[in-house]
Amino acid sequence: MDNAHRLAPAGVDCSRPLVDSSALEHLRSAAKGLRVAIVHDWLVTRGGAEKVLQAFLRAFPQAHVFTLVDSLADAERAWLGKHPVTTSFLQRMPLAKRHYRYYLPLMPAAVARFNVADYDLVISSSHAVAKGIPTHSNQAHICYCHTPMRYAWDMREGYLQDAGWQGPKAWLARYSLHRLRQWDLTTAAHVDHFWANSNNVKARIDNYYHREAEVLYPPVDVDALTVNEGERDDFYLAASRLVPYKRLDLIIEAFRAMPDKRLVVIGNGPDRKRLEALAEGASNIELLGYREDAVLHDYLRRARAFVFAADEDFGILPLEAQASGTPVIAYGSGGALETVRAPESQHDPAATGIFFDTHTPDSLRDAVASFETRRFDPSACRHNAERFSHSVFWRRTQTLLTHAGLVATPS
């Protein structure tokens, strides 16, 4: 763990200016002759995967989007622009827009029915089944892999436990996930190029699929965030979709035992009622529910620290916090090891946060206590986040497309 946080973004020349206003134009110009299809698992919210999709859509204004289910409200889909969106037969299934995950056994068949034969480049933005899109020999299929399908691999038991199934239903679900795992491994062989969202995911692609992957870190909209160099408000912030694996319960339990420290939680999701019950009676804990980006960014700028307990594939929010000059207290596993710089000494000026080592409230409380003995420089946090800017993302994308022989070498 000591050296893992020193991993630099693959393909980033840190001697070059990080702000490159021409990076997007260069990429668009290089790829303008390509007919592009982007296959995204589903459009139900605007999370980290959708921020990557948005960056690809800006790079490929000619792209056509294919997705299994699209339930984005009109007010939430402006970022899709004028790109056409084609959905699968699951869109018409009962309650699919809200309970789409229950149709997981049908998803391989749904993605297989998409027709992308007329496109030169197919990019599957995949954390579930999108990479199973059928392509032919005259096309290039690039899988931007947010993670190998967790339902089939490392989160299978947790998925079954959360579902609460017993008896024959549990047996059937286990058998279905076994079949899904076989399908996932088979379709991995049909991908021409894997791009991983982190070294963490690159290692899992190698472990599960036995395929090499290039790393293309997700972009962080650092230009939309400003640094707070002044005094901070007296609260810690946690924000994410409220689902079990994000481990907001651990954060709430830790702060229940620290009544002198205020915690603000932003986000919505299926775990909200359970988390509200867990926080009930704790006057130092406030769950705000969903908030627009502008409100979230304001909280990020004012917080003492951003608290992140998920074992995440990458994790954009810790970098958005750092782009705001806010240090991070993170669980020391997964993508956080690549995005947060832990201190190498008591007064390390380049440090941007600290890690806690075990998924327990006690470990997090110890990390908070340690955090409060240190000072973190907002400009160091910002500088670290800038290594993951949109311009870096687009420049790296053009480099990878060049290596794949899909666009000309930049002049």
Q: Which long-range contacts (CB under 8 A, 24 or more apart) does 80-89 make?
A: 80/43, 80/54, 81/57, 83/57, 85/43, 86/114, 88/113, 88/114, 89/113
Q: Quick one: pLDDT at residue 138?
A: 95
| pLDDT of 393 above 60 | yes
Q: Quick one: pLDDT at residue 13?
A: 37
Q: Quick one: pLDDT at residue 304?
A: 97
Query: Which tokens go with 89?
Result: 């037969």
Residue 389 has what DSSP assignment? Answer: B
CB 216 within 8 A of CB 393: yes
The whole-number average pLDDT for the span 306-325 is: 96
The CATH class of 222-386 is: alpha beta
Confidence of residue 208 (pLDDT cuts 50, 70, 90): very high
Average pLDDT over the chain reads 90
- Model confidence pLDDT, tens digit, residues 122-146: 999 999 999 999 999 999 999 999 9
In DSSP notation, 64-123 reads EEEES-B---GGG-GGGTT--EEE-GGGGSTTTTTSGGGGGGGHHHHHHT---TT-SEEE
| pLDDT of 205 above 50 | yes
Q: Quick one: pLDDT at residue 76?
A: 86
Q: What residues does each domain of the chain span?
A: 17-219+389-403, 222-386
In sequence order, the 6+-apart residues with CB closer than 8 A to the CB of 148 are 184, 188, 201, 204, 205, 208, 209
The whole-number average pLDDT for the span 360-383 is: 97
Instruction: Tell whether domain 17-219+389-403 is in CATH 3.40.50.2000.
Output: yes
Q: Quick one: pLDDT at residue 362?
A: 98
- Model confidence pLDDT, tens digit, residues 268-312: 988 999 999 999 999 999 999 999 989 999 999 999 999 999 999
Rg of the chain over all Cα atoms, to the nearest angstrom: 21
| pLDDT of 41 above 60 | yes
- Model confidence pLDDT, tens digit, residues 143-176: 999 999 887 777 666 666 665 666 777 677 777 8
- Model confidence pLDDT, tens digit, residues 329-355: 999 999 999 999 999 988 899 999 999
User: Taking the model in full, what pTM does it have?
Assistant: 0.86
SS3 54: helix
